[in-house]
A and B are shown apart, each in its own frame.
Chain A
Amino acid sequence: MSSSAIAPKTDSANRVHWFRYAAPQQFYPLAGKMLPWLWATAIVLTLAGLWVGLVVAPTDFQQGDSYRIIYIHVPAAWMSMLIYVAMAFWAGLGLVLNTRLSSMMATALAPTGALMTFIALWTGALWGKPTWGTWWVWDARLTSELLLLFLYLGFMALQAAADDPRRADRAGAIVALVGVVNVPIIYFSVKWWNTLHQGSTINPTRAPSMASIMLTGMLLMVFAFWAYCIAAALQRVRAIILEREKDADWVQQLKETQ
C-alpha cells in the first residue's frame, strides 16, 4: 500500500493542466504564441481559396459568374452563426462559473461575429440582385440573419454601457443566451419556410450539390475564415486582458508594457 501514496502524485504530474489556461495570466502568452501561426494560416488559405474559386473554378451553368460570391458568402454566414454560439457558450460559462476569461472571450468574439454577419448580409444583397432581381426581401432567412446582426450590436452596446466590467459580463450573457434561439431559426429557415433563398449547398445527409473544384475552393475559404476569426478573437481578447488586468503584477511586469 505504500505505493498508493505516490501514485496520485505522479498521475497528476503527467496530466496536462487545461484549467491552468483558464487564468488570464497563463492564457495571454499562449494566445500570443498561437497568433502568428493563425494569421499565417488565414493568409495562405485565403490566397489558395481565392485562386481556386476565382481563377480555376469554372462558371456555374445556371448563375454564371455571379455564383462566385458563394466563396465569401457561405463562409461568412457560417461563421456568423458559429461565433454567436461560441459567444453564448463562453458568456454562459462566465455567468455560471464566474470565470473572468470566459466572459472576456465572449466580449472578444462579438465584434468579429458582427462583422461576419455584415459580410453575409452585404454579399447576400449583391448576390440577390442579379439572381432574384432584388437586393433584399423580408423572408425568414434574411430577416433572421438581420436579427443576428442586431443581437451582436445589442450585446456590444449593452456591454459598452455598463461601468463595471463584471456587470457588463452578466448583462451581456443574458442577451447572448436568449438570442441563441435565433441560430437554429437561421439555419433551418430555408427548410421550415418558403423562401427565395436557395437550400443548403452542403448537407451532412447527402452529397454536396456542387462540382468538386468549386467545393474545394469553398472549403479552403471556410477554413481561411475559421483561422481569421480565431486569430481576430484571440488578438482582441489579449487586448481586453491588458485593459481589465492593468493593475495586476504580471501585466505590469510584461515585457511589452515596459
Chain B
Amino acid sequence: MHWSSVADFLAMGGYGLYVWGSFAVTAAVMAWEVLALGQRRRRAITQVRNWRLLSEDAR
C-alpha cells in the first residue's frame, strides 16, 4: 500500500483534480454506454414485437 491515509489518497499528491477528473469522467461515459446498450436492446426487442403485431394484423 502506497498511501498513509484516505485524505492522502484523495489528494493524489496535489494532482487530485486531474487524476480524479480523468477517472470520474471515464467511469461516467462507460456507465452511460452500458445503460445505452441495455436501452438499445430493449428498444430492438420492442421493434421485433411490433413487427409481429403488424404482420399479424395484415393477415
Residues of A whose CB lies within 8 Å of any CB of B are 54-59, 64-66, 68-69, 72-73, 76, 111-112, 115, 118-119, 122-123, 126-127, 129-130, 228, 232, 235-236, 238-240, 242-243, 246-247, 251-252, 254, 256-257
- Cα distance A76–B29 when bound, in Å? 12
Contact indicator per residue, chain B 15-59, by CB within 8 Å of chain A (1) or not (0): 100110111011001100110010011011101110110010000
Across the interface, do B13 and A126 meet the contact criterion of CB distance under 8 Å? no
Across the interface, do B15 and A56 meet the contact criterion of CB distance under 8 Å? no
The dominant DSSP class at the A interface is helix
Q: Taking the complex as formed, is B7 at the interface, i.e. its CB lies under 8 A from any CB of chain A?
A: no
* Residues of chain B contacted by A256 (CB below 8 angstroms): 45
Across the interface, do A57 and B45 meet the contact criterion of CB distance under 8 Å? no
How near does chain B come to A115, taking the closest CB pair, in angstroms? 6
How near does chain B come to A134, taking the closest CB pair, in angstroms? 13
Known: A126-B18, A247-B51. A64 touches B13 (CB 8 A): yes
Across the interface, do B47 and A246 meet the contact criterion of CB distance under 8 Å? yes
> What are 5 A-B contacts defined by CB distance under 8 Å?
A72-B23, A126-B21, A236-B37, A246-B51, A257-B49
* Residues of chain B contacted by A254 (CB below 8 angstroms): 48
Among residues of A, the one whose C-beta sits closest to the C-beta of B23 is A72
Residues of B whose CB lies within 8 Å of any CB of A are 1-3, 9, 12-15, 18-19, 21-23, 25-26, 29-30, 33-34, 37, 40-41, 43-45, 47-49, 51-52, 55
* Residues of chain A contacted by B25 (CB below 8 angstroms): 119, 122-123
Known: A55-B1, A55-B2, A115-B29. A123 touches B22 (CB 8 A): yes
Across the interface, do B33 and A73 meet the contact criterion of CB distance under 8 Å? no
* Residues of chain B contacted by A69 (CB below 8 angstroms): 18-19, 22
How near does chain A come to B54, taking the closest CB pair, in angstroms? 10
Cβ-defined partner of B48 (8 Å) among A57, A76, A246: A246
Across the interface, do A127 and B2 meet the contact criterion of CB distance under 8 Å? no
Across the interface, do A56 and B1 meet the contact criterion of CB distance under 8 Å? yes
How near does chain A come to B3, taking the closest CB pair, in angstroms? 7
* Residues of chain A contacted by B23 (CB below 8 angstroms): 54, 72
Known: A111-B33, A243-B44. A122 touches B22 (CB 8 A): yes
Known: A76-B26, A236-B37, A246-B51. A59 touches B13 (CB 8 A): yes
Across the interface, do A119 and B26 meet the contact criterion of CB distance under 8 Å? yes
The winner among B3, B9, B15, B45 for most chain A CB atoms within 10 A is: B15
Across the interface, do B29 and A66 meet the contact criterion of CB distance under 8 Å? no
- Cα distance A239–B1 when bound, in Å? 43
- Cα distance A232–B41 when bound, in Å? 12
* Residues of chain A contacted by B1 (CB below 8 angstroms): 55-56
